Chain A
Amino acid sequence: MFSRAYRMVITVPPVAWVAVFLLIPYLLMFCYSFWSVSSTQSIVHSWNFDNYRKLLEKPVYWETLLRSMWIAARVMLFSLFLGYPLAYFMSFYAGRRKDLLYQLVIIPLWVSYLVRAYAWKTILGSDGVLNTSMQYLHLTRHPLEFLLYSPFAVVLTLTHIYTPFAFLPIYAALEHIPRNLVEASHDLGATPAQTFWHVIFPLSIPGVVAGATFAFVLSLGDFLAPLLLGGPSGIMISNIVVSLFGAAYNWPLGAAISLGMLLLVLCLLFLSEKLEKKWSFA
């Protein structure tokens, strides 16, 4: 139906832009990861695997990566734990208040990421809102120091930030379940609990997978929350990249780590896509 000229006009400009500003940068990152830095801090364009060797040999890199994944995994689990029942309640029990509640979940998403992370800092600090109010209520005598500058603070903050992201696809999946399937299940003698486990939950799995992927991938690459609230024990893999691109000035090594992260993320996306396909029955 559309002429050749029409198709050219809609295709060429975006493809060109994306090639220059997305494809080439990713390729550059790929190239950098095989280069190195000389003693005079200039980039040496000689191709080798030294950066990748370093990643495997120096425990600080893969230990930090593992810690990041552990933090991301906890964020994922907590977000699902908070998000799933919320989505289930809203989809099946909230009735007319559904739209309002949906907006209420969305609103925090529109509040600056940075501002919310900062708000947690003012809550968790040793003279923060939580500690001072606990002392005020005589629950504790001294401030609890482990609250801030710890992996706990990072996990808590990221959970707060990514729970709506986990919630949304789950809610979408639940909303897409035809209600007559729920009725059919009841009709065939299944109690609400049986209906949940045999019908509703299996059909919501694509949403759960998508939500889990968001929470995990987005928190895995985070570097601001750890800088703000993590302290030395809450350092994540992206923080290392940031310092390699900044003070430490080793772009090639930083590129190698970024590329590793990119590959990990792509694998996860691929995996979640497979899982979602396996569990969708459109």
Chain B
Amino acid sequence: MELRMTDAANSSRSRWLVAHTTAVFAFLYLPIAVLIVYSFNGEGVGGFPPHHWTLDWYRILLSDESIWDSVFNSLKVAFAAMAISLTFGVPAALALDRANFPGKALFRRLVLLPLILPGIITGLSLLMLFNVGFVSTILKLVTGQQLSLLTITLGHGTALISVATTEVFAGLQKLDRRQEEASLDLGANYWQTFWRITVPNLKLSIIGAALLIFTLSMDEIAVSFFLIGRDNTLPLEIWGRLRRGITPEINAISTIIFLFSLVTIVFWYRLRVRGEGGAEVGMELIEAKSGEAK
């Protein structure tokens, strides 16, 4: 609605709000701006004003093999985690929507818990599982190590089922159940109805969930921290370097990741705007998160 700005009190109120909003955005974007600016700064990080623009850090980055190895590892983990989360998260959403079974309430809470729980708890509890005698024997048989990219993948895949479930569950709430009834009525069996009616209707939710899972996995560190073997993921590689001291090529890789995320967001935004006429990226996730454990 249109709020009338007729009296002075009202307009001073909105002026104050504009100032506050500007300040919050400045606060949110200051670190990002610093990151990008100093990735082109010859002096490395710190020092004001920045001078002597250079692409050196990007050049160093390009020839840094361990960074690219970790990027490759992260990509592998992210895709595998995406597969796991969707494989179990989509049926989980369907089950929550349309099946009744003993322990459903507990199941619902458990699935969603990793969303709100500090990552350290999820990471450590999985570490304990992987430390159980026969589990660790199996892991060693499969990969030759107890902890490896496999354990990180299992961790991400499990924790991010919550994302797939909430996104798809939200999609199911909007789905008109009568479409599926019509399909069954017209002689399609459950399997055909699922692939021809249910999945196409949930397409946006599933793609959205996949993108979110991918991005979250690429950035995940709290769970990975405890499940890491010999091979680093990108965040853990960055973490290792940060522990050793400030290294400017981190600025460069961060800038690249930022631009990459930006492209992903724009892509998703387009998708959602076209699909639903709304642009509430991640809103379901947040609402699910706030309604978590209900």
Contacts and interface: CB of A to CB of B under 8 A. Distances in A.
Contacts of B292: 269
Q: Is the interface of B mostly helix, strand, loop or mixed?
A: helix
A169 interface: yes
B215 A110 contact: yes
Given A89-B20, A127-B47, A224 B221 contact: yes
Interface in B127-141: 127-129, 132
B108 to A, nearest CB: 10
Contact of B128 (A136, A222, A255): A255
A28 B28 CA distance: 40
A108 B35 CA distance: 12
A29 B124 contact: yes
Contacts of A18: 88, 92, 107, 110-111, 158, 161
Interface size class of B (residues with CB under 8 A): 35 or more
Interface in A65-107: 82-83, 85-86, 88-90, 92-93, 99, 101-107
A1 B181 contact: yes
Nearest to A223: B120
Contacts of A214: 116, 289-290
B48 interface: yes
Interface in A1-27: 1-3, 5-7, 9-11, 13-15, 17-18, 20-26
Contacts of A128: 45-46
A168 B290 CA distance: 10
Contacts of A261: 118, 121
> Chain A interface mostly helix, strand, loop or mixed?
helix
Interface residues of A, number: 108
B119 interface: yes
Nearest to A127: B46
B265 A103 contact: yes
B49 interface: yes
A163 interface: yes
B142 interface: no
A191 interface: yes
Interface stretch (B55-63, B65-73, B75-83, B254-262): B254-262
B222 interface: yes
Contact of A32 (B1, B103, B128, B286): B128
A85 B127 CA distance: 41
B264 A110 contact: yes
A35 to B, nearest CB: 11
A110 B293 contact: no
B46 to A, nearest CB: 5
Contact of A241 (B120, B235, B282): B120
Contacts of B238: 112, 114-115, 118
A23 B91 CA distance: 18
B46 A125 contact: yes
11 contacts: A2-B99, A14-B111, A103-B265, A107-B262, A114-B239, A119-B254, A122-B251, A165-B286, A169-B286, A217-B118, A270-B293
Interface of B: 1, 3, 9-10, 13-14, 17-18, 20-21, 24-25, 27-32, 34-35, 38, 45-49, 87-89, 91-92, 94-95, 98-99, 101, 103, 107, 110-111, 113-114, 116-121, 124-129, 132, 154, 158, 161, 177, 180-181, 184, 190, 215, 219, 221-222, 225-226, 235, 238-239, 242-243, 246, 250-251, 254, 257-258, 261-262, 264-265, 269, 279-283, 286-287, 289-294
Given A90-B21, A133-B49, 11 more contacts: A15-B101, A21-B158, A86-B20, A93-B18, A103-B265, A111-B258, A214-B290, A221-B121, A241-B124, A265-B116, A269-B293
